[in-house]
Amino acid sequence: MPTVNKSILKIAVPAILSNVIVPLLGLVDLTIAGHIGDAVTIGAVSVGATMFSLTYWNFGFLRMGTSGLTAQAFGARDRRQMSVMLFRSVALALLLGIAIVALQSPIRWLLLAAISPSEAVHTHASQYFSIIIWGAPATLATMSLTGWFIGMQNSTYPLAVSMVVNAVNIVCSLCFVFAMRLGFIGIPLGTLAAQWCGFILSAFFAARMMRKETLGYAPRINEMLHGLGRFFSVNRDIFLRSLCVMAVMLFFTATGARSGNMTLAVNALFMQLYLLYSHFMDGFAYAGEALVGKYAGAADKRSLRRCVSHLFAWGWSLAAIFAFAYGVFNHEVMSLFSDKPEVVAFAAAYRWWIALAPIAGMAAFIWDGVFVGLTATRQMLLSLAGATAVYFAIYFLSPFPDANSSLWTAFLTYLAVRGVILWLCFARKNEY
């Protein structure tokens, strides 16, 4: 096996295992909701979880920027910068998380007003969000720590954290819902407990890695502030990019909600399937972040290009497998998430949309990892802005009489356009 492939798999395999486990937080919640209630309960969990995701997705730069900058410092063997990146990113994440908790009321009101779910879904989704939002500091800090681990070429620690988080989530959610008979509110309580356990374990692993890499240097506050300018310069475009992602996902959920509870429920389950695929692809994207960043920091252009080529070979293979599974075995897969025949039957009518999603989105995932490693954030912003514009244009100009088919057509086109734009940007950059 070529050396580049070995390097990719060393990071990608633990990252894939970790990322496959991550969606279980949403799948466990939706599965429990599907067995204690009806489509309204499933929709409420979907809306509530989407509200929380949209709240912290805007801060994705905490992980992505930390990963790219840390990987470049690792490639250059700059131990001081590795240490500074850890402390700066985690401190900022905790401060932002506390601010989100303090502003939870207006955030909840704005998101519910934008999504506009039915009255029944509105009530339960508000309860879900009001509980899970208290995990914002832990979630953001864990994102920063994950980015630092990836930049340090280590995806084993995030895997261990994911395993513990999901074990805690499953045990606590089942205990709260069934053993303690808390009903619906037991679902977000279990997730909240898992989020804080994940942060505590991540902090422990970070301290352990600092000792292993002899990064005993603890930066002073003025040093972290001194480097903050570059940190925000790199991540400004990632933040704006996240706003585009939020606009797309918010519109997707809101449009599904206005189409009825059944459409909302099926789209929620389909989106979980897409997220499952995306977490597989993110394993290779993370490998791209770590290795491309390392090669960029070491000024090794030849290895960088070989790495990109191998990443795409793995990406196409995974996309083909998931497309086949989602298209051919849709009934069996959907039956795992809901025992309601009407939900499974409704999903069958739209199965080919979710089957095409892996093919449409593959390139975007790989290129995102490459450009994070290069810290080429302006190109990432341009690709998302262009794809978002196409997304809304396709939806409103779509000839489909069925609104949900128009929605999925727009979403798949949006994914494909992202990959095409980033490919053009990479091809035009001779320094890569």
C-alpha separations of 139 from 41, 101, 187 in Å = 24, 12, 17
Percent of the chain with pLDDT over 90: 38
Question: SS3 helix, strand, coil % of the chain, rounded to 5?
Answer: 90, 0, 10
What are the residue boundaries of the structural domains of the chain, listed by start?
3-428
pLDDT at position 93: 94
Confidence of residue 164 (pLDDT cuts 50, 70, 90): very high
pLDDT digits (tens, 9 = 90+) for 112-121: 888 777 777 8
**Residues sharing a CB contact under 8 Å with residue 431, sequence separation 6 or more, in sequence order:** 301
Nearest to 386 by CA among 416, 418, 357: 418
Please tell me which residue, 295 or 125, carries the higher pLDDT value.
295
Q: CA 313, 316, 318, 319: dihedral to nearest 10 degrees?
A: 170
Q: Of the given ranges (50-59, 201-210, 404-413), which has the lowest mean pLDDT?
A: 50-59
221 or 288, greater pLDDT: 288
Contacts of residue 84, Cβ cutoff 8 Å, sequence gap at least 6: 219, 223, 224, 227
| pLDDT for 216 | 65
d(CA 144, CA 91): 9
Find out whether 372 and 64 touch, Cβ atoms under 8 Å.
yes
Residue 157 token pair: 């620690």
Mean pLDDT of 341-352: 76
Amino acid at 188: P
pLDDT of residue 1: 44
Q: At what angle do helices 261-297 and 341-348 cross, to 10 degrees?
A: 60
Q: Please provide residue 152's backbone torsions phi and psi, each rounded to the nearest 5 degrees.
A: -85, 10
Closest CA to 270 of 25, 53, 30: 30
Q: Dig out the tokens for 37 from the structure.
A: 């209630």
**d(C-alpha 233, C-alpha 220), whole Å:** 21
Please give the pLDDT value at position 365.
Answer: 95
* pLDDT surpassing 70 at residue 219: no
Classify residue 181 as left (phi > 0), alpha (psi -120 to 50) or beta. Answer: left
* Residue reference for tokens 């603890």: 218
165 with 194: CB under 8 angstroms?
yes
- Cα–Cα distance, 37 to 68 (Å, whole number): 43
Confidence of residue 38 (pLDDT cuts 50, 70, 90): low
Longest dimension (CA), the chain: 62
